Structure 1
């Protein structure tokens, strides 16, 4: 029989060479057809089917790596798994090969290669797929050309924006508030002198006011933020404010006669993985360091009143510049602290020579419950607690320095995405230095219904008692005569109890516009039953961009 004199190391040449061999005559030693069939049957029974196990040519005891055909045989076994030896572990490579044996072996290898090709090309596109794609391209040729033009135009616009962008590190966002507001006293019964005589000498005309803010937020690392805020506004307080009570102040109050000023200049940055630090050169509030739990704590999108935003103790002392940090103890627990000063830029007073506030807070918050404990030590050189809410006596305004230990507790419960309830209690243990001690209390309950009537909407209620002077060692009114109009001489506390009742509904008109009508009802304004109730109403419209 004809024998192989050389095996290729690649499958395809082997197979092609084998096909050519089929055209050659058999070897001189002739065999009958029966002999050939017997050999094929024996070959099959001995296991030399071409469905190998891919172990390699080294599995055959009579094949050595030094054999001239070792690499070709090893490739066929390992790569195509279509050759096996005899049961005794030999390959018998020097044995003569008949045409029938060759045909059986070649067929087995071709079938194996066809199977491998089918497996690796199962997901390839067929000729029918390509033809369908060609027809679709012809059918939508115009649309594809249009899309190509649009992509070209977009690339051109992107290139223009990149070349003419304001900054690669700074983002601009803005907020504009329009407010149409009115104050509605019941009658003329208001005590503005502190002598128990009722009169009325303040105005309550309907007003139209605004507040405009532009924030330039710059990041240098992606985790820090330098904020520069420009602001102009003309939201002046009601004239009742300095005569009867400070309870009717809006959350968006402030008047700089429409002059553009740098309202906030601050820098926030991480320190390691658990600490976030902040520095304010201007516009700081203690709430920037000691965050609140109250969802209404937003002058533009939350409570309409100043009192409804947060516990008034967070406003005590001097607050203009300062520094603070927040330390993430765990995912739910945060410890934060901050120091603020009122005249940090004044060399005559500096950071530590004038009004200040030094505070710390421990806050726990998860998805359904939050609790915060707050302490603030405050000092004002010219007198006053400076919370600027509540009754006139509770502010302790005067010309005598005041130092106070302020304590607060706040909670928030969110049983579902559609409802939350929260609130706080605040207490100030104040000392009018060299004169007297005084106690001031406040508390509030907040109820909220997010997304009521539509996504982004918010129905809110605030019920509580704004800061009230609950007692003093000496007649505080006699110490600062004229500044405690609602107190008669000799009084050591606010005469009565007054309540703050507020309701508002923020309607999210569009992504960038919301409208919030709201009303505040003050009973016994200034915690003085001599005064008639006051109703303050507003329609606050906010534009964000």
Structure 2
């Protein structure tokens, strides 16, 4: 029994002993001991029931805080290269009720200006550590997942994104800007928080280093939690069906994913040029991913490749009917100093390559890039200087350059 439980039980036991000592009918010390022990056991059982109902001992809490100091210059008169400092704060709660399941809840807050320079999805400066909301902390993600048998994992939740409902991540590159997340944050994987559900099957292998297949299918509906006129499964809602097939080992993986998005939408959850997201009909997107990492850390980098191609069914005249995006990411672990890491990525944000009728995307030939080096101060603190930029981004084909120093505290 835990110490604090015994401290609670002791006064109760003494209270029980007093009247029994005065009871003349009890003639045996051994009988008194048996009665005391039985009554103490009863008090302990009641205390354990109360404690079990108060809080689950299987809930763990972790989190991180990020300080971001930097600037963005995007070639416009309304934006400047003034240096700013912002923060992001995140708490992760993991609860299990069977030992194999998980109730995940994420609380998050940040004081980045909404649609501001470090949370701008249009120009490539949206940071992975960016979070707007005026500092208000709220539930940012919440879902429940559980196994079915040995090979199937199931998710369901009112606030989740599709890439959480996969057998494994499509990318191993750790980005500074979100445009390089998921092997390229384009129309295949890119999403926004929605209500949804999904399942993933993973092949069993005798040796963990052997290759194995996995298949993931999930569905999210943007209006599934708020819009009473459309709902989660309504044909007019901003639904998103994603299927991923993968094969690989812990060292490498190749995968293909198919995304279906009906009814046209800007789908603000993914990152591309303005012309590359304006369509009114059904969109189908294919995402190809591959990665490899060396057996030892050091000078040889991990390699991440990504390519997305999307088409719009019966595109309206003057709207794009085909779009593409690609990226290459290189990552080094334990570079120069154990615990430090570095990354370099470059590519092209999703842009329209073909229009129904006249039209072209000024950002069709856009290029974007980032580079960073992370210093590990200790197990809980890292400092990451990073630079990033792009040319011909967004619909007006402007150039963007920026630099940040990211300080993260993990606990």
Report which of the two has the higher share of helix: 1
TM-score, with structure 2 as normaliser: 0.77
Q: Hey, what does 1:522 align to over in structure 2?
A: 390
Q: Distance in 1 between matches of 2:61 and 2:120?
A: 41
Number of residues of Structure 1 aligned to a counterpart in Structure 2:
351
Q: Name the stretch that deviates more: 166-175 or 464-473.
A: 166-175
Contact residue 444 and residue 462 of structure 1 kept, 8 A: yes
Q: Distance in 1 between matches of 2:204 and 2:120?
A: 48
Stretches of structure 2 that go unaligned for 5 or more consecutive residues are 8-47, 206-211
Q: Does 1:410 align with 2:289?
A: yes
Give CA deviations for 1:174-193 in whole Å, capped at 9, x if unaligned: 111111121135xx5x5xxx
Q: Distance in 1 between matches of 2:232 and 2:289?
A: 29
Q: Hey, what does 2:310 align to over in structure 1?
A: 428
Q: Does 1:457 align with 2:340?
A: yes
Contact residue 241 and residue 260 of structure 2 kept, 8 A: yes
Q: Hey, what does 1:233 align to over in structure 2?
A: 110
Q: Hey, what does 1:338 align to over in structure 2?
A: 218
Cα displacement (A) at 1:286: 1.5
Cα displacement (A) at 1:205: 2.4
Q: Hey, what does 1:208 align to over in structure 2?
A: 85
Q: Distance in 1 between matches of 2:118 and 2:332?
A: 31
Contact residue 247 and residue 391 of structure 1 kept, 8 A: no
Contact residue 379 and residue 402 of structure 1 kept, 8 A: yes
Q: Distance in 2 between matches of 1:432 and 1:235?
A: 39
For 1:309, what is the secondary structure of its paired residue?
helix
Greater relative contact order (Cα < 8 A, sep 6+): 2
Decide whether aligned partners of structure 1 residues 432 and 306 sit closer, same or farther in structure 2, where only a CA change above 3 A counts: farther
Q: Does 1:306 align with 2:208?
A: no
Decide whether aligned partners of structure 1 residues 455 and 402 sit closer, same or farther in structure 2, where only a CA change above 3 A counts: farther
For 2:385, what is the secondary structure of its paired residue?
strand
Q: Does 1:506 align with 2:387?
A: no
Q: Does 1:184 align with 2:60?
A: no
Contact residue 513 and residue 541 of structure 1 kept, 8 A: yes
Give CA deviations for 1:336-360 in whole Å, capped at 9, x if unaligned: 1100011112332111221110011
Stretches of structure 1 that go unaligned for 5 or more consecutive residues are 1-154, 191-199, 297-301, 476-490
Give CA deviations for 1:217-253 in whole Å, capped at 9, x if unaligned: 1001111100122111122366579999432221222
Q: Answer with 1 or 2: which has the greater Rg.
A: 1
Q: Hey, what does 1:372 align to over in structure 2?
A: 255
Q: Hey, what does 2:230 align to over in structure 1?
A: 349
Decide whether aligned partners of structure 1 residues 385 and 235 sit closer, same or farther in structure 2, where only a CA change above 3 A counts: same
Matches within 5 A, 1:24-173: 167-173=56-62
Decide whether aligned partners of structure 1 residues 456 and 279 sit closer, same or farther in structure 2, where only a CA change above 3 A counts: farther
Q: Hey, what does 2:23 align to over in structure 1?
A: none
Cα displacement (A) at 1:271: 0.3
Give CA deviations for 1:491-525 in whole Å, capped at 9, x if unaligned: 33335512111101122211111111111021233
Report which of the two has the higher share of strand: 2
For 1:246, what is the secondary structure of its paired residue?
coil
Q: Hey, what does 1:256 align to over in structure 2?
A: 133
Q: Distance in 1 between matches of 2:122 and 2:355?
A: 19
Contact residue 315 and residue 386 of structure 1 kept, 8 A: no
Q: Does 1:328 align with 2:188?
A: no
TM-score, with structure 1 as normaliser: 0.59
